[in-house]
Amino acid sequence: MQKPLILITNDDGITAPGINALVSFMKEIGEVVVVAPDSPQSGQGHAITLDYALFSAKISSNEEANGHLAYSCSGTPADCVKLGLQEILTRRPDICVSGINHGSNSSINVIYSGTMSAAIEAGIEGIPAIGFSLCDFSWNADFEQAKESIIKIVKSALKNGIPNGVVLNVNIPKLKKEEIAGIKICRQARANWKERFDKRTNPMGKEYYWLTGEFELLDKGEDTDEHALANGYISVVPTQFDLTAHHAIQGLNNWNLHE
């Protein structure tokens, strides 16, 4: 039987430790092809490149050393998935996995996440897809602790399938392996960022800003990803790209805009 073909991408760039960890885990399951940004793309949301040309390069050292194909791409995570599917892969992948992100993509962070936008792009194309994030921004984070759980989730997805229109957003707490309480299916917690702009003046006297902020949790629900993570669980949120707020349609009809 043919091994499952696994397309791997991320938003921290092709040299990030997180994607290297994911590649090593996925090699225990299937055939791996990497198409990942040639530079960090954090906070890129679902950006795509319309106004610039895209460059892509085969990272041949990877193939020789590790037995898998790897390509860098000058675009965003969503571009990487599009390019991988249309130009690089010779057959349709069985699954697309994105990450492991250096830092959380739980709660409202999913909206800003390049990691998740890559998974969502694959989902739009009808390919089962999962984004993985470790709640540790460090470049030297311990990804090994998550190995067993990540393999379990990907194997389950390959076996059970992921419903059409759904991709999985998996966040892993920053804990030792033996401290992980388990895996929980959750909903996205309500939250936002309390922004603060750090205003400075450059040597030419021109003002500029750095975006900073603090995460503000607005939701104490025990069924949320934030609650799961705070209690030592890996959170799995089924995430959709039909953004329609179906519950709001009736109320809007009462505005009588058609009159």
Which residues, at least 6 apart from 26, have a Cβ–Cβ distance to it below 8 Å?
A: 6, 8, 32, 97, 154
Return the residues of window 157-176 that contact a second copy according to CB under 8 A: 160, 163, 165-166, 168-169
Entry field: residues in the chain: 259
Report the residue from 137, 144, 182, 232 that binds a second copy according to the rule CB under 8 A.
Answer: 182
Can residue 92 be called a binding residue for a second copy (CB under 8 A)?
Answer: no
Residue with smaller CB distance to a second copy, 176 or 258: 258
Task: Record the tokens describing residue 53, joined without a space.
Answer: 């040309």
Q: Which stretch binds a second copy (CB under 8 A): 18-26, 64-72, 123-131, 135-143?
A: 123-131
Residues paired with 8 in a beta bridge: 34, 97
Residue 120 contacts a second copy per CB under 8 A: yes
Question: What is the nearest approach in angstroms of a second copy to the Cβ of residue 133?
Answer: 14
With b for 16 or more beta-carbon neighbours within 10 A and e for fewer, the 91-111 pattern comes to: eebbbbbbbbbbbbbbbbbbe
Q: Binders of a second copy among 208-237, rule CB under 8 A?
A: 208-211, 236-237
CB of 51 to a second copy, least distance (A): 7
Torsion sign (Cα): 124, 130, 135, 138? negative
243 binds a second copy (CB under 8 A): yes
Of 16-24, 77-85, 89-97, 128-136, the window that binds a second copy (rule: CB under 8 A) is: 77-85
DSSP letter at 46 equals T
Q: Which span (1-9, 16-24, 25-33, 185-193) binds a second copy, by CB under 8 A?
A: 185-193
The answer to whether residue 156 forms part of the interface with a second copy (CB under 8 A) is: yes
Measured from the CB atom, the residue of 28 and 148 that comes closer to a second copy is: 148
- Closer residue to a second copy in complex, CB, 65/248: 248
Q: Name the phi and psi angles at 152, rounded to 5.
A: -60, -45
Cα gap 246→244, rounded to integer Å: 6
φ, ψ at 18 (rounded to 5°): -60, -40
Say what the alpha-carbon torsion angle 215, 20, 40, 129 is, to the nearest 10 degrees: -70
The only residue of 20, 44, 62, 235 in contact with a second copy, by rule CB under 8 A: 44
- Compute CA 192 distance to the chain's CA centroid, rounded to the nearest angstrom: 19
Is 180 near a second copy (CB under 8 A)?
A: no
Instruction: Retrieve residue 187's tokens.
Output: 């909903």
CB 98 within 8 A of CB 130: yes
Q: Which one of residues 64, 178, 195, 222 is an interface residue with a second copy (CB under 8 A)?
A: 195
| Nearer CB in complex with a second copy: 90/244 | 244
Residues 55-74 close enough to bind a second copy by CB under 8 A: 55-56
Backbone angles phi, psi at 24, to 5 degrees: -65, -35
Among 23, 153, 154, 175, which residue interacts with a second copy (rule: CB under 8 A)? 153
Question: Count of residues binding a second copy (CB under 8 A)?
Answer: 80
Give me the residue label for tokens 């709640």. 135
